[in-house]
Structure 1
């Protein structure tokens, strides 16, 4: 039998759409980009010309009415993800959407319910799960070769200036849903969870140190896991020397990766514990191995569609990461520890990430009251 060929469309033709178009172009003919959608017709036409897209539309509703598509890539601002994904599910169309998948746990749960009634699925882009180094580490942990995980450090220390936040939807609870906890560090700690498994409890702080935003620009969390491991998670957009770091201290080795926006196999190192020097032989870097970019996850999405399965990362998988985001804000704003599963229906932090309200206010929000 010949391999299926999927008809796809990209909704939102801003910067991140390029990564999706590149992944489509490198899919070895498994997918065709048949349409692009943007509220700015000129930007849509420019994108279409760049990537040889035959048709453009001004809105998702028009796309779903006029085109038969198998997969829609949502590259729109975060506040649009939930309503657009819901519209696709109602049309029976599968969605691959950028992070964060929704602005709240309540929105995510609404999508989970809608997905159960639909022939379509929703997957969230958490591409760092799909790099070769992460897959190798998960395999070695599953085999027991490296012993138990004991301690981890997860750092996303980036820099975003005032001009970055001049874009109207950035830095607000209504449009972006949060600061670096929600929109920047989420990739790193999602990878942390994919390695260490379910988190158990969070004690966190969040602050607005330097940026005139509604949301935090720094957060820090202490996390415990079901397997007994502990971790520190730092998220920042005020760090001039930008870096993304994950370190796993295991019984028989320390495994680390340092990169910025995506890692290769060369970015990983392993340091054996004394008496366990042979474990270094288990880590065999491959210069041709997959990077942690959109290509790897898109290939996994197509593989799942070929098998008739829900593509990764499913809404249920993404919920663990989103629940952690909500728990960081809940712990930061209430001053108490938050356990997994605690933020149920009726919790203000289920309905909105700022929950009971951030302990600071922007001058603009004060003036409007």
Structure 2
């Protein structure tokens, strides 16, 4: 399988390049070429991760290399246009989250993928972190979705003065939906604006319910005193506590305790190197397997509309998102996202 990568910047180099290199070392893919508008970045990426050639023009690379799959790791502002171009050419696509800036862009990409039945996967890496995989397995074994009473998820960062933190918060939104194993029903959002920290800086609290009846709360704090991320899941006779970040707040580690009837039933500690612990290698390997075997990668663009609607709501500072209409077959954004008076 010939792989090409579009985007050779910092995030791609820190996260996705090592995963691609590891996959190539284990056989089954050929790192054909990488591309970036910055020629120096493209050449550095090529040499560091073992790609054969580097390009500065995407279409030239595609025409010459005829890749079997493409990784798209670019700024969110250009994701949609580039993804649509790739999908229209029928090339399986692995793309960095979020898939566009909102639901309108997501729908453009979905239409391009659906038209040619092109495999695609969005890089929501939490789903593939070993600690989240193990948590999901325990839930599947012991607790159907409607047995989960509550999921509390906390994402804190230090000094993240992003004008738009929603594109990071979407990780938490997706992780909760994945662990709930149920679509969101309704979510109410409150905001703590901090203009003295910078334009757009705010903390978010999302309180809602899933279709299963599970109550959820997401606490998003971009400028807290410590970088951390984790969740607590409650059901009758069961509590699962998981930490996604290590003690230093910087390295993804993965630690889980499953308590049952007030006794510790299981303790899980993720091992392996960073790209294994943070799910980056797992998600990429799953995408490659899906393309090879001809099954649908997950999560695909079709799986991401609720996450994108909530991300967009955070950006627009909406106080409520009601997904009731989606169950009636409507995807009209004005019916899904509403502003309360």
TM-score range, shorter chain: 0.7 to 0.9
Provide Cα deviations, 1:92-114, integer angstroms capped at 9, x if missing partner: 11111111111110111111111
Distance 1:211 1:38, change over 3 A: farther
User: Does structure 2 retain, via aligned residues, the 8 Å contact 1:13–1:47?
Assistant: yes
Find 2:260's aligned residue among 247, 257, 272: 272
What's 1:309 paired with? 295
**Cα distance, 1:201–1:216 mapped onto 2, change above 3 Å:** farther
Structure 2 CA distance for partners of 1:346 and 1:246, relative to 1, 3 Å:
closer
Deviation of the 1:288 alpha carbon = 4.5
Q: Which residue of 2 aligns with 1:252?
A: 237
Say whether the 8 Å CA contact 2:256–2:267 is kept in structure 1.
no
Q: CA shift at 1:156, angstroms?
A: 0.9
Please point out which of 278, 285, 289 is paired with 1:299.
Answer: 285
Within the candidate set 297, 322, 331, 1:339 is matched to: 322
Alignment check: 8 A CA contact 1:60 1:84 kept: no
Task: Quote the offset at 1:154 in angstroms.
Answer: 1.0
Q: Which residue matches 1:38? A: 36
Partners of 2:127 and 2:112 lie apart in 1 by: 26
Query: Which secondary structure state, in structure 1, belongs to the residue aligned with residue 224 of structure 2?
Result: strand
Q: Deviations over 1:284-332 (max 9, x none)?
A: 63655752321011111111112112322111112232123234456x4
Cα 1:145–1:237 change in 2 (3 A) is: closer
Q: Within 5 Å, give how 1:90-169 maps onto structure 2.
A: 90-144=88-142, 148-161=147-160
Shift of 1:161: 5.0
- Checking the alignment, whether the CA contact within 8 Å between 1:123 and 1:311 is kept in structure 2 is yes
Query: Can you give the 5+ residue segments of structure 2 that lack an aligned partner in the other structure?
Result: none
In the alignment, which residue of structure 2 is the partner of 1:49? 47
Residue of 215, 226, 237 corresponding to 1:241? 226
Task: Indicate how the Cα distance of structure 1 residues 100 and 136 shifts in structure 2: closer, same or farther if over 3 A, else same.
Answer: same
Would the alpha carbon gap of residues 246 and 287 (structure 1) be closer, same or farther in structure 2, given more than 3 Å must change? closer
The yes-or-no answer on 1:192 pairing with 2:192 is no
Shift of 1:236: 2.5
- Judging changes above 3 Å, is the alpha-carbon distance between structure 1 residues 104 and 287 closer, same or farther for their aligned structure 2 residues? closer
**Residues 81 and 264 of structure 1, relative CA distance in 2, 3 Å threshold:** same
Q: Normalized per residue, which structure has more strand?
A: 2
Displacement after TM superposition at 1:48 (Å): 1.5
Query: Against the structure 1 CA distance between its residues 190 and 161, is the aligned structure 2 distance closer, same or farther, given a 3 Å change threshold?
Result: closer
Distance verdict in 2 for CA 1:208–1:114, change over 3 Å? same
1:72 to 1:79, Cα distance in 2 relative to 1, 3 A: same
Give the alignment's TM-score, normalised by structure 1. 0.79
Q: Is the 8 A contact 1:72 1:95 kept in 2?
A: yes
Distance 1:243 1:189 in 2: 16
- Partner residue of 2:82 out of 76, 81, 84: 84
Contact 2:37 2:57 in 1 (8 A): yes
**Separation of aligned partners in 1, 2:293 and 2:223:** 44
Report the counterpart of residue 17 of structure 1 in structure 2: 12
Indicate conservation of the 8 Å contact 2:240/2:258, yes or no. yes
- The within-5 A match list for 1:350-361 is none
